Amino acid sequence: MDGSTRPFWLTAFIDFPAAEFDRGARFWSGVTGWPLSPARGEHDEFASLVPPDGADYLRVQRLGSGQTRLHLDVHVPDPEEAALAAQERGATLTRQVGPGLVIMRSPAGLAFCLTSQRRRQRPEPARWPGGHRSRVSQVCLDIPPEAHPAEVGFWAATLGGAVRPSPDRSEFAWIEVPHDFPFELLTQRLELSRPIGAHFDLGSDDRAAEVARLQREGAVVRAVRDGWTVLEAPGGMSFCVLDRSPSLPG
Protein backbone atom coordinates (compact mmCIF):
# COMPACT_ATOMS: atom_id res chain seq x y z
CA MET A 1 0.00 0.00 0.00
CA ASP A 2 1.48 3.36 -1.05
CA GLY A 3 0.91 6.77 0.47
CA SER A 4 -1.84 7.76 -1.97
CA THR A 5 -4.13 4.90 -0.92
CA ARG A 6 -3.33 4.58 2.80
CA PRO A 7 -6.34 5.67 4.91
CA PHE A 8 -5.91 8.49 7.40
CA TRP A 9 -9.45 8.57 8.91
CA LEU A 10 -12.75 6.68 9.02
CA THR A 11 -16.30 8.02 9.16
CA ALA A 12 -19.43 5.96 9.85
CA PHE A 13 -22.76 6.90 8.25
CA ILE A 14 -26.21 5.81 9.38
CA ASP A 15 -28.39 5.76 6.28
CA PHE A 16 -32.12 6.15 7.02
CA PRO A 17 -35.14 5.90 4.73
CA ALA A 18 -36.86 9.27 4.56
CA ALA A 19 -39.66 8.30 6.95
CA GLU A 20 -37.15 7.28 9.64
CA PHE A 21 -34.58 10.04 9.23
CA ASP A 22 -35.80 12.63 11.75
CA ARG A 23 -36.49 10.10 14.50
CA GLY A 24 -33.23 8.24 13.87
CA ALA A 25 -31.12 11.39 13.82
CA ARG A 26 -32.68 12.58 17.10
CA PHE A 27 -32.05 9.22 18.73
CA TRP A 28 -28.36 9.09 17.82
CA SER A 29 -27.92 12.70 18.87
CA GLY A 30 -29.23 11.61 22.27
CA VAL A 31 -27.02 8.52 22.32
CA THR A 32 -23.86 10.51 21.68
CA GLY A 33 -24.86 13.76 23.38
CA TRP A 34 -23.78 15.58 20.21
CA PRO A 35 -26.04 18.04 18.35
CA LEU A 36 -26.87 17.63 14.69
CA SER A 37 -25.17 19.97 12.23
CA PRO A 38 -27.15 21.99 9.69
CA ALA A 39 -28.25 19.85 6.76
CA ARG A 40 -26.11 19.85 3.63
CA GLY A 41 -26.09 18.22 0.21
CA GLU A 42 -28.10 18.83 -2.93
CA HIS A 43 -31.28 17.67 -1.20
CA ASP A 44 -30.30 18.47 2.42
CA GLU A 45 -29.76 14.74 2.86
CA PHE A 46 -26.57 14.82 4.98
CA ALA A 47 -25.78 15.95 8.51
CA SER A 48 -23.06 15.29 11.11
CA LEU A 49 -23.18 14.61 14.83
CA VAL A 50 -20.88 17.36 16.07
CA PRO A 51 -18.75 16.62 19.16
CA PRO A 52 -17.59 19.46 21.44
CA ASP A 53 -13.95 18.55 20.74
CA GLY A 54 -12.10 16.79 17.95
CA ALA A 55 -13.47 15.89 14.52
CA ASP A 56 -16.88 14.50 13.69
CA TYR A 57 -16.88 10.84 12.64
CA LEU A 58 -20.58 9.92 12.87
CA ARG A 59 -22.94 11.17 10.20
CA VAL A 60 -26.50 10.57 9.01
CA GLN A 61 -27.96 10.41 5.53
CA ARG A 62 -31.54 10.48 4.26
CA LEU A 63 -31.98 7.80 1.59
CA GLY A 64 -34.19 8.06 -1.44
CA SER A 65 -34.97 4.36 -1.05
CA GLY A 66 -33.75 1.35 0.89
CA GLN A 67 -33.60 0.24 4.50
CA THR A 68 -31.69 1.61 7.49
CA ARG A 69 -28.03 0.56 7.29
CA LEU A 70 -24.49 1.61 8.14
CA HIS A 71 -21.80 2.44 5.63
CA LEU A 72 -18.20 3.53 6.03
CA ASP A 73 -16.30 6.41 4.47
CA VAL A 74 -12.60 5.59 4.10
CA HIS A 75 -10.56 8.81 3.91
CA VAL A 76 -7.52 8.54 1.62
CA PRO A 77 -5.26 11.02 -0.19
CA ASP A 78 -6.30 9.79 -3.66
CA PRO A 79 -9.79 8.20 -3.85
CA GLU A 80 -9.45 7.30 -7.53
CA GLU A 81 -6.22 5.35 -6.98
CA ALA A 82 -7.69 3.74 -3.87
CA ALA A 83 -10.77 2.73 -5.90
CA LEU A 84 -8.60 0.98 -8.49
CA ALA A 85 -6.76 -0.86 -5.73
CA ALA A 86 -10.06 -1.83 -4.07
CA GLN A 87 -11.39 -3.23 -7.36
CA GLU A 88 -8.28 -5.36 -7.69
CA ARG A 89 -9.15 -6.81 -4.27
CA GLY A 90 -12.71 -7.66 -5.34
CA ALA A 91 -14.72 -4.49 -4.66
CA THR A 92 -17.30 -3.17 -7.13
CA LEU A 93 -17.47 0.42 -8.36
CA THR A 94 -20.97 1.86 -7.86
CA ARG A 95 -20.47 5.49 -8.89
CA GLN A 96 -17.80 8.17 -9.08
CA VAL A 97 -19.39 11.32 -7.73
CA GLY A 98 -16.46 13.64 -8.35
CA PRO A 99 -12.69 13.93 -8.01
CA GLY A 100 -12.88 13.44 -4.24
CA LEU A 101 -15.63 10.85 -3.75
CA VAL A 102 -16.08 7.30 -5.07
CA ILE A 103 -18.96 5.02 -4.02
CA MET A 104 -18.23 1.28 -3.91
CA ARG A 105 -19.30 -2.09 -2.53
CA SER A 106 -17.03 -4.56 -0.79
CA PRO A 107 -16.70 -8.14 -2.11
CA ALA A 108 -19.58 -9.23 0.15
CA GLY A 109 -21.71 -6.22 -0.80
CA LEU A 110 -21.21 -3.67 2.00
CA ALA A 111 -21.55 -0.10 0.75
CA PHE A 112 -18.59 2.19 1.42
CA CYS A 113 -17.13 5.40 0.05
CA LEU A 114 -13.61 6.59 -0.64
CA THR A 115 -13.16 10.29 0.09
CA SER A 116 -10.29 12.75 0.36
CA GLN A 117 -11.96 14.92 3.02
CA ARG A 118 -9.52 15.83 5.78
CA ARG A 119 -10.33 15.34 9.45
CA ARG A 120 -8.56 16.15 12.71
CA GLN A 121 -8.37 14.38 16.06
CA ARG A 122 -10.64 11.83 17.73
CA PRO A 123 -13.21 13.27 20.18
CA GLU A 124 -13.16 12.45 23.87
CA PRO A 125 -15.87 10.22 25.38
CA ALA A 126 -19.02 11.88 26.70
CA ARG A 127 -19.39 12.02 30.49
CA TRP A 128 -22.93 11.57 31.77
CA PRO A 129 -24.69 12.56 35.02
CA GLY A 130 -23.52 10.10 37.64
CA GLY A 131 -20.00 10.07 36.24
CA HIS A 132 -19.89 7.24 33.70
CA ARG A 133 -18.55 7.74 30.19
CA SER A 134 -19.40 6.32 26.77
CA ARG A 135 -18.56 6.72 23.09
CA VAL A 136 -19.18 4.90 19.81
CA SER A 137 -15.73 3.32 19.69
CA GLN A 138 -16.23 0.38 17.34
CA VAL A 139 -18.02 -0.65 14.15
CA CYS A 140 -18.68 -4.36 13.77
CA LEU A 141 -19.08 -5.89 10.31
CA ASP A 142 -21.59 -8.76 10.41
CA ILE A 143 -20.40 -11.10 7.66
CA PRO A 144 -22.13 -14.24 6.36
CA PRO A 145 -20.00 -17.38 6.83
CA GLU A 146 -19.39 -18.08 3.14
CA ALA A 147 -18.05 -14.54 2.57
CA HIS A 148 -16.11 -14.14 5.80
CA PRO A 149 -12.50 -15.02 4.80
CA ALA A 150 -12.50 -12.88 1.64
CA GLU A 151 -14.26 -9.94 3.31
CA VAL A 152 -11.87 -9.87 6.27
CA GLY A 153 -8.93 -10.03 3.87
CA PHE A 154 -10.38 -7.20 1.81
CA TRP A 155 -10.76 -4.84 4.76
CA ALA A 156 -7.35 -5.70 6.16
CA ALA A 157 -5.75 -4.87 2.81
CA THR A 158 -7.86 -1.73 2.29
CA LEU A 159 -7.07 -0.31 5.73
CA GLY A 160 -3.48 -1.56 5.75
CA GLY A 161 -3.93 -3.32 9.10
CA ALA A 162 -3.26 -6.79 10.41
CA VAL A 163 -6.04 -9.16 11.41
CA ARG A 164 -6.10 -9.76 15.17
CA PRO A 165 -8.27 -12.75 16.17
CA SER A 166 -10.24 -12.63 19.40
CA PRO A 167 -8.46 -14.76 22.03
CA ASP A 168 -11.68 -16.28 23.37
CA ARG A 169 -14.33 -16.13 20.61
CA SER A 170 -13.39 -17.58 17.23
CA GLU A 171 -16.16 -15.77 15.34
CA PHE A 172 -14.63 -12.34 16.06
CA ALA A 173 -11.48 -10.67 14.73
CA TRP A 174 -10.28 -7.06 14.64
CA ILE A 175 -8.80 -5.22 11.69
CA GLU A 176 -6.06 -3.14 13.29
CA VAL A 177 -6.24 0.59 12.61
CA PRO A 178 -3.94 3.47 13.61
CA HIS A 179 -4.26 4.51 17.25
CA ASP A 180 -5.63 7.96 16.36
CA PHE A 181 -8.56 6.66 14.28
CA PRO A 182 -12.01 7.41 15.76
CA PHE A 183 -13.13 3.78 16.05
CA GLU A 184 -11.93 0.21 15.76
CA LEU A 185 -13.20 -2.22 13.13
CA LEU A 186 -14.41 -5.59 14.40
CA THR A 187 -15.51 -8.44 12.13
CA GLN A 188 -18.04 -11.09 13.13
CA ARG A 189 -18.60 -14.35 11.28
CA LEU A 190 -22.35 -14.98 11.37
CA GLU A 191 -23.70 -18.47 12.00
CA LEU A 192 -26.33 -18.24 9.25
CA SER A 193 -26.17 -16.93 5.73
CA ARG A 194 -27.75 -13.50 5.25
CA PRO A 195 -26.70 -10.23 3.61
CA ILE A 196 -23.70 -8.47 5.11
CA GLY A 197 -24.43 -5.67 7.56
CA ALA A 198 -22.77 -3.58 10.24
CA HIS A 199 -23.61 -2.20 13.67
CA PHE A 200 -22.24 0.23 16.24
CA ASP A 201 -20.62 -0.78 19.53
CA LEU A 202 -20.44 1.76 22.35
CA GLY A 203 -17.63 1.40 24.84
CA SER A 204 -18.56 2.35 28.39
CA ASP A 205 -16.93 2.23 31.82
CA ASP A 206 -20.35 1.42 33.40
CA ARG A 207 -22.43 -0.80 31.12
CA ALA A 208 -25.46 -0.95 33.42
CA ALA A 209 -25.66 2.83 33.74
CA GLU A 210 -25.20 3.30 30.00
CA VAL A 211 -27.86 0.75 29.11
CA ALA A 212 -30.31 2.43 31.50
CA ARG A 213 -29.55 5.81 29.91
CA LEU A 214 -30.11 4.44 26.40
CA GLN A 215 -33.41 2.89 27.46
CA ARG A 216 -34.52 6.35 28.54
CA GLU A 217 -33.59 7.53 25.02
CA GLY A 218 -35.93 4.91 23.57
CA ALA A 219 -33.71 1.85 23.01
CA VAL A 220 -34.94 -1.64 23.89
CA VAL A 221 -32.73 -4.36 25.39
CA ARG A 222 -32.73 -7.50 23.23
CA ALA A 223 -30.02 -9.64 24.87
CA VAL A 224 -27.52 -9.52 27.74
CA ARG A 225 -24.22 -11.32 27.21
CA ASP A 226 -20.99 -11.80 29.13
CA GLY A 227 -19.31 -8.49 28.32
CA TRP A 228 -21.95 -6.77 26.21
CA THR A 229 -25.64 -5.90 25.92
CA VAL A 230 -27.55 -5.93 22.62
CA LEU A 231 -30.08 -3.14 22.14
CA GLU A 232 -32.45 -2.07 19.40
CA ALA A 233 -32.84 1.55 18.39
CA PRO A 234 -36.20 3.04 17.39
CA GLY A 235 -36.71 1.92 13.82
CA GLY A 236 -35.10 -1.47 14.40
CA MET A 237 -31.32 -1.03 14.06
CA SER A 238 -29.34 -3.17 16.52
CA PHE A 239 -26.29 -1.94 18.42
CA CYS A 240 -24.30 -2.99 21.47
CA VAL A 241 -22.86 -1.57 24.70
CA LEU A 242 -19.55 -3.15 25.70
CA ASP A 243 -17.56 -3.45 28.91
CA ARG A 244 -14.70 -1.61 27.22
CA SER A 245 -12.93 1.69 27.60
CA PRO A 246 -14.76 4.40 25.64
CA SER A 247 -11.36 5.89 24.81
CA LEU A 248 -10.46 3.01 22.46
CA PRO A 249 -8.84 2.73 19.97
CA GLY A 250 -5.45 3.73 21.19
Read off the pLDDT of residues 166-193 as tens digits, 9 standing for 90 and up. Answer: 988 899 999 999 999 999 999 999 999 9
Q: What sign does the dihedral 66-58-91-43 (CA atoms) show? A: positive
Q: For residue 132, what are the contacts with CB-CB under 8 A and spacing of at least 6? A: 204, 205, 206, 209, 210
- Quick one: CATH architecture of 9-115? Roll (3.10)
Range(s) of the chain covered by CATH 3.10.180.10:
9-115, 126-243
- How far apart CA 168 and CA 181 sit, in angstroms, is 25
Alpha-carbon separation of residue 104 from 31, 45, 107, 128, 200 (angstroms): 29, 19, 10, 37, 21
Find residue 238's DSSP bridge partners: 232
d(CA 106, CA 97): 17
Residue 1 has pLDDT above 90, yes or no: no
The distance from CA 112 to its chain's CA centroid, rounded to whole angstroms, is 10
- Per cent of the chain over pLDDT 70 is 100
Choices 1.10.645.10, 3.10.180.10, 3.20.20.140, 3.30.43.10: CATH for 126-243? 3.10.180.10
Q: Is the CB of residue 229 less than 8 Å from the CB of residue 243?
A: no
Q: pLDDT tier at 250 (50, 70, 90 boundaries)?
A: low
Q: What is the pTM of this model?
A: 0.95
